């Protein structure tokens, strides 16, 4: 796409990024969404990685965003390894399925490989990420802190062979543990939008209760 620019987010993008994220996620996983609030609180959080805060711009309009946080892995023999996690990643619905999400992921994974980061660990819908090389945590013996392998716990190995034969537990940033009431207050700043029940929400409820056998 010749007019697509992938660049770092600046302060003047903040509101646009929250708006496009709200449009991208609205009613997708539950009636309404909370990802725009997450963008808002992430930027001031200790785990936020500013150098990986990228936006996609077309003809001067910001229509996509990816944000990263620090996370870590703990091995069964006590090794602690820093990893990174992205989310939210969102593309405005008018610009989805033309390669913008892919461009955001490719830009940031290239930078992470150069920095020597061993892996990206995320919670997400496998449909969106297997095409980018992500595998389920089980394939690398990476579980959640409870020792389970959720369907949506996905790993992209950036340094080949990094995981070896050890077992690992993945810990995400505490920024994701917010009070839903804060979202209701925050959402009042945005134009009113109808909350609806969509079938994608049923699919999401199944996905978050699905675990692979270890
Ligand atoms: C998920 C999301 C970030 C992906 O971004 P995107 O820009 O739509 O992604 P891409 O266009 O790079 O790839 C998506 C699809 O378009 C296809 N595609 C990419 N370029 C294309 C092109 N030029 N022409 C046609 N199709 C294309 C890809 O093959 C992919 O196909 P698939 O759905 O069968 O796997 C975006 O769709 C989004 O914001 N969704 C709502 C929020 C969300 O679900 N976020 C992720 C939470 S887990």
Q: What is the CATH number of the domain that holds 116?
A: 3.40.630.30
| pTM of structure | 0.96
Residues 154/121, Cβ–Cβ less than 8 Å:
yes
Confidence of residue 214 (pLDDT cuts 50, 70, 90): confident
Q: State in Å: Cα 81 to ligand 1 middle.
A: 30
Q: Determine the Cα–Cα distance for residues 23 and 38; give it in Å rounded to an integer.
A: 14
123 and 170 Cβ atoms separated by less than 8 Å: no
In a domain, 191, yes or no: no
**Structural domain includes residue 86:** yes
Residue 92 in any domain: the answer is yes
Residue 190 included in any domain: no
Give the number of other Cβ atoms within 10 Å of residue 213's Cβ.
6
Q: How far is the CA of 121 from the centre of ligand 1 (A)?
A: 19
85 domain residue, yes or no: yes
Domain that residue 135 falls in: 4-172+197-208
**Is there a domain that residue 122 lies in?**
yes
pLDDT mean across residues, the chain: 97
> Does 154 reside within a domain?
yes
Q: How far apart are CA 41 and CA 64, in angstroms?
A: 18
The answer as to whether 28 is a domain residue is yes
Average pLDDT over residues 199-206: 97
Residue 98 beta carbon below 6 angstroms from any ligand 1 atom: yes
102 lines ligand 1 (CB under 6 A): yes
Give me the pLDDT at residue 150, please. 98
Give the contacts of 41 (CB within 8 A, at least 6 positions apart): 175, 178
State the pLDDT confidence band at 180, using cuts at 50, 70 and 90. Answer: very high
Q: Which atom of ligand 1 is nearest to the CA of 96?
A: 8
- Split into its structural domains, the chain has a count of 1
């Amino acid at each position: 796409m010749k007019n697509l620019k992938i660049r770092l987010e600046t302060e003047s993008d903040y509101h646009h990024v929250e708006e496009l994220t709200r449009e991208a996620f609205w009613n997708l996983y539950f009636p309404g969404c909370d990802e725009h609030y997450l963008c808002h609180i992430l930027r001031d959080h200790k785990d936020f990685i500013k150098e990986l805060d990228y936006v996609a711009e077309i003809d001067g309009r910001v229509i996509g965003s990816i944000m990263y946080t620090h996370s870590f892995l703990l091995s069964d023999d006590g090794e602690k390894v820093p990893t990174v996690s992205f989310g939210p990643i969102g593309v405005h619905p008018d610009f989805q399925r033309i390669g913008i999400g892919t461009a955001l992921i490719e830009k940031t994974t290239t930078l992470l490989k150069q920095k020597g980061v061993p892996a990206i660990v995320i919670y997400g819908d496998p449909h969106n990420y297997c095409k980018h090389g992500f595998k389920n945590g089980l394939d690398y013996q990476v579980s959640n802190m409870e020792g389970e392998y959720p369907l949506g716990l996905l790993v992209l190995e950036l340094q080949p062979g990094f995981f070896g034969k050890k077992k690992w537990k993945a810990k995400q940033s505490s920024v994701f543990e917010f009070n839903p009431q804060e979202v209701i207050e925050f959402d009042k700043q945005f134009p009113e939008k109808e909350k609806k029940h969509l079938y994608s929400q049923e699919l999401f409820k199944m996905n978050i209760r699905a675990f692979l056998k270890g």
